[in-house]
């Protein structure tokens, strides 16, 4: 059996379907399906229960498929261990660095870090992976990531494992964003009173805004919620309400027809950090961490040198 196809099966088992596995592996859905069919031919046994497909249900593996997916987990761990071992035999200061994180920081700080390392430390080979917090922590624990971009936990968040070291990178201020069609002299009390377009759930930005509203004795009038920042900005641009978005997110997204409110409301900021295992920081990840901190410092200086002035078109 082709070990690469076993890893495809592992991705399908983890994500619950061909399409999400294709997104995770950067393949087409038809490519994933072909790998599964060829793996079934090589194994000589059905791996997918095709009697339970359709109707929007998740893909279900047969008992043989689940058994092979479990073996693929061991294969992935062995490959990760082999990669770490190979890195030890590369140049003393070189090797692969796998960096995970979320879009706004990857697009700004991490992308600039990779470009800089290519010019100054060509023996360091950074690889970028966009992951959410839960998946990133899991991959970090299994050695599939060397560095994970994150945020300082909120007081009511579960504690981080003691095996992790968390290094502050930068402070990213939250911005109050309003439709460009709103009057430029609208006051803080009028904005707080309302309507709002906010993130669904308890994001750090929403929690910060709720603290400001509580301090002003205002109950937020949340008319619309969104998961993606791009959706939130589109709703704000349509005039449906004000929102709160981190500056780095504003920097890397198109946001015409909105502007940052320059008034006295100060919802604070989030602290962006980088996590790594206490006993796994080899030379290459350490050099990447140094450059990450330098790029983050530069980005923070740019942010704080400016002001929350109008951004509209």
- For the chain, give the mean pLDDT: 83
Express as a percent the part of the chain with pLDDT over 90: 8
The residue to which tokens 């791996």 are assigned: 47
Q: How many whole angstroms separate alpha carbon 249 and alpha carbon 270?
A: 12
**Residue 86's pLDDT is what?**
67
Distance CA 172, CA 184 (A): 24
What is the per-residue pLDDT for 309?
A: 43
Alpha carbon distances (Å) from 115 to 54, 109, 118, 145, 249: 44, 10, 5, 19, 20
Give the confidence band of 313 by pLDDT, cuts at 50, 70, 90. very low
Alpha carbon of 311 to those of 157, 175, 230, 260: distances in Å?
33, 12, 15, 6
Mind listing the pLDDT tens digit for each residue in 195-250? 999 987 778 888 888 888 888 888 888 999 988 888 888 899 998 998 898 888 88
For 55-68, the pLDDT digits (tens) are 555 678 889 988 99
User: Confidence band (pLDDT; 50, 70, 90) for 149?
Assistant: very high
More reliable by pLDDT, 205 or 50? 205
Q: CA 217, CA 16: separation in Å to the nearest integer?
A: 45
Band the pLDDT of 311: cuts 50, 70, 90: very low
Determine the pLDDT at residue 148.
Answer: 93
Torsions phi, psi for 82 (to 5 deg): -65, -40
| pLDDT one-digit tens code per residue, 156-189 | 777 888 888 999 989 889 988 888 888 777 777 7
Q: How high is the pLDDT of residue 255?
A: 63
Contacting residues for 85 by C-beta, under 8 A, at least 6 apart: none
The pLDDT of residue 147: 93
């Amino acid at each position: 059996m082709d070990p690469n196809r076993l890893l495809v099966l592992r991705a399908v088992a983890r994500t619950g379907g061909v399409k999400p596995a294709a997104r995770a592996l950067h393949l087409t859905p038809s490519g994933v399906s072909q790998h599964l069919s060829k793996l079934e031919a090589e194994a000589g046994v059905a791996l997918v229960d095709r009697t339970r497909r359709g109707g929007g249900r998740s893909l279900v593996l047969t008992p043989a498929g689940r058994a092979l997916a479990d073996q693929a987990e061991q294969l992935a761990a062995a490959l990760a261990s082999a990669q770490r071992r190979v890195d030890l035999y590369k140049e003393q200061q070189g090797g692969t660095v796998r960096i995970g994180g979320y879009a706004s920081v990857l697009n700004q700080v991490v992308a600039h870090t990779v470009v800089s390392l290519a010019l100054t430390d060509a023996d360091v080979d950074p690889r970028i992976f966009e992951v959410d917090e839960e998946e990133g922590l899991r991959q970090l624990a299994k050695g599939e990531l060397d560095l994970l971009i994150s945020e300082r936990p909120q007081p009511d968040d579960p504690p981080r494992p003691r095996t992790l070291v968390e290094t502050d990178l930068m402070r990213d201020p939250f911005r109050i964003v309003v439709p460009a069609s709103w009057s430029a002299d609208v006051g803080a009390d009028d904005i707080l009173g309302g309507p709002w377009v906010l993130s669904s759930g308890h994001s750090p930005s929403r929690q910060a805004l709720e603290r400001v509203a509580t301090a002003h004795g205002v109950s937020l009038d949340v008319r619309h919620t969104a998961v993606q920042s791009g959706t939130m900005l589109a709703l704000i641009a349509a005039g449906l309400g004000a929102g709160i978005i981190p500056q780095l997110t504003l920097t890397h997204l198109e946001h015409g027809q909105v502007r940052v409110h320059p008034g006295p409301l100060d919802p604070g900021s989030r602290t962006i950090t980088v996590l790594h295992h206490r006993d796994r920081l080899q030379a290459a990840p350490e050099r990447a961490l140094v450059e990450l901190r330098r790029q983050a410092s530069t980005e923070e200086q740019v942010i704080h040198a400016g002001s929350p002035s109008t951004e509209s078109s």
